[in-house]
Amino acid sequence: MTKEKLAAEYDFIEKYIGLDKVYLETHRSDMDVDREKILMIKSFLEEKGVVTAGGITTTIPDHQGMEEGKQRLFDTFCYTDPALRTKIREIAEYTASLFDEVILDDFYFTNCTCERCIREKGERDWADFRKELMKDVSENLIVKPAKAVNPKVKMVVKYPNWRESYHFTGYLPDEQQDIFDATYIGTETRSPAYTDQHLPEYLSYSMVRFMEHAWPEKNGGGWFDTYQCWSADRYLEQAYLTAFAGARELMLFQWGDLIDNYFVGGMGIQLKKIDEMMEGIGKPTGLPVYIPHGVNGENHLEMRLGMLGIPVDPTPFFPKEQDTLLLTESAAADETVADQLKDFLMAGNDAVITTGFLRAAGDRIRKLGLTEAVVTDRSIPVTRYQITEDEAGFIQEQRPIIFSEIIHGNNASWSLLNGGDGEYHTPLILRSTYGKGRLYILSIPDHQADLYRIPACVVDVLKQIVCRGGYVSGSGCSLFSYDDGSMILYRYVKDEIHPQRVRIYTDKKAARLRDLVSGESYPAVFDEGRMREDFAAELSMSSKSKSTHYASVVLQPGVFRKLKWET
């Protein structure tokens, strides 16, 4: 990186994207950038008005003076090796001497199983051992040495996009919040069908929301890259959803990958549109999904529901102050969750639990009398759906989708949605009451991707339960809601690319739905036949739903819309 090369590349990035800030790596693998080179780049950028910060990627190849015989995925550090402990401390001190902010790339984990690590692990499992190890490393080899060199330095840890596996490799957001000054989050989703991490596009939104709850006011932004994005739309969607979630910064990794990359032209155009969309918008809202730290189970499920048009807001804390929540299998790892669920229902709230949660925590919640339902080990190939409160609510001749069988007490609970084949069916949404509250059991297909194949009117039954105040009908798009009443709708660019007409429902007496960017408006239509969540409020299940209003809008693939109801 000569000054001449730097100048030419800067001109390219500034022309097509615009540049506010650059994180400059001092170490990655076998590369340690010397002070003179770093200062040249830092000085050049700061003269252009660009903020600079430091970056460290904690990878190192085998020939860097460590003990022999280490089998490490991705060349991550072995943090029990004395030589590597010294090395990481020196890197932290060196980087802090150059910058007042330093970020750790998301290779800051350990998977080493060398003989020394096995000895030091002792009788503990790997998760507990690595948790204690990385807490020690974070505090005593990274943050304290850095602040001893530069008391003003802000130390930032970036967490990767694989939240469900943090605890296996020593990532511990709950513990590290008291050690680091701030965090960042990976919002890379790339091509979901082919990436090893099974990442739905909605992850770019939900991971930001999770970290906003985990580290309030301390999440710096979202970081995404060009890798395995085999279309410009797939790359750009990462930016859209990261911004819609309220991320403070969008970090485009990395400089060298952006040069002469045709993705960046579209990014520059779309960033201006995103700015216009997010100007003056409220705080993101959605269905709270409780996912404690350090757990896994029904991974990414809430993200797939987000791609069906249900705004979700994952949090590592039980959302006691909300009136509706979703519990997936991950929440069952909390030993107190059954008691918290009981109190939540007693307060008059509604809770949705999945079949995964019921399998894992069923004994606990049945003991408390919250439900009598059981998930059996049998499966049903569902080809037919029945919306039980709709006389004409039968959808047949569907390609089979496999659901688990739910057994429940007749008239002790009631099915709002059935799925069957031949002369047998099973509940797909089952409703019970407890105290002042209502408990819904949601059946999840064995193959999560089948959620996208469920008929749109069937998905709407769930939306009528969890989307308070209104919802978008059908599937194939996401709705992002905000506390000022505004909403953003986005239709993903998938294999089958075509416009889609959707209905946007509201419980308000609205006159029109307005596009806040174009100014275009859509009249509200009175629809007294549409089912709403109100039908679940009646114990007899025999009352008709209240009338409601909707507006009809066409969504183009790859185009986002900012809308708001007006009276």
Q: How far apart are CA 419 and CA 426, in angstroms?
A: 6
Which band of pLDDT confidence, cut at 50, 70 and 90, is reported for residue 510?
confident
pLDDT tens, residue by residue, 268-279: 999 999 999 999
Task: Provide CB contacts within 8 A for 369, sequence distance 6+.
Answer: 434
Q: Bigger pLDDT: 527 or 126? A: 126
Give the span between the Cα atoms of 121 and 129, in whole angstroms.
Answer: 6
Q: What is the CATH number of domain 287-455?
A: 3.40.50.880
pLDDT band at 507 (very low <50, low <70, confident <90, very high): confident
Q: What integer pLDDT is reported at residue 565 of this predicted model?
A: 95
Which residue from 529, 97, 483, 456 is spatially nearest to 281, judged by alpha carbons? 483
Task: Give per-residue pLDDT as tens, 232-242.
Answer: 999 999 999 99
**125: which residues sit within 8 A by CB, 6+ positions away?**
none
pLDDT score at 64: 67
Side-chain-side CA neighbours of 177 within 13 Å: the count stands at 13
> Looking at 28-42, 404-418, 462-476, which range is the least confident one?
462-476
For domain 477-566, which CATH number applies: 2.30.30, 3.30.70, 1.10.260, 2.60.40? 2.60.40
pLDDT at 393: 84
Helix/strand/coil for 229:
coil
User: What is the average pLDDT value for the chain, to the nearest integer?
Assistant: 93
pLDDT band at 541 (very low <50, low <70, confident <90, very high): very low
pLDDT, tens digit, for every residue of 324-370?
999 999 999 999 999 999 999 999 999 999 999 999 999 999 999 99
Express as a percent the part of the chain with pLDDT over 90: 86
Residue 538 has pLDDT above 70, yes or no: no
CATH class, domain 3-280, is alpha beta
- Stated pTM of the model: 0.94
The 10s digit of each residue's pLDDT in 59-94 is 998 866 777 778 788 899 999 999 999 999 999 999
Q: What is the crossing angle of helices 337-346 and 355-367, to 10°?
A: 80
Percent of the chain whose predicted confidence (pLDDT) is above 70: 96
pLDDT at 530: 52
Q: Give the mean model confidence (pLDDT) for residues 311-331.
A: 97
Characterize 458-481 residue by residue with b for buried, 16 or more Cβ atoms within 10 angstroms of its Cβ, and e for exposed: bbbbbbbbbbbebbbbbbbbbbbb
Residue that wins the pLDDT comparison between 150 and 508:
150
List the chain domain ranges. Answer: 3-280, 287-455, 477-566
Identical fold between 3-280 and 477-566? no
Whether residue 362 contacts residue 375, with contact meaning beta carbons closer than 8 Å, is answered with yes
Question: Considering just the CA atoms, what is the radius of gyration of the chain in Å?
Answer: 26
Q: Are 183 and 157 in contact (CB under 8 A)?
A: yes
The answer to whether 6 touches 48, Cβ cutoff 8 Å, is no
Q: Are 255 and 13 in contact (CB under 8 A)?
A: yes
Cα of 483 vs its chain's centroid, Å: 19
Residue 540's pLDDT band, with cuts at 50, 70 and 90, is very low
Helix (H) or strand (E) holding 466: helix 456-466
H helices of 232-313, where? 232-244, 255-258, 263-278, 301-306
Angle at 126 between CA 125 and CA 128, to 5 degrees: 70
Predicted confidence at residue 497, as pLDDT, reads: 80
Contact between 382 and 419 under an 8 Å Cβ cutoff? The reply is yes
- Considering only residues 398 and 118, tell me which one the structure prediction assigns the higher pLDDT: 118
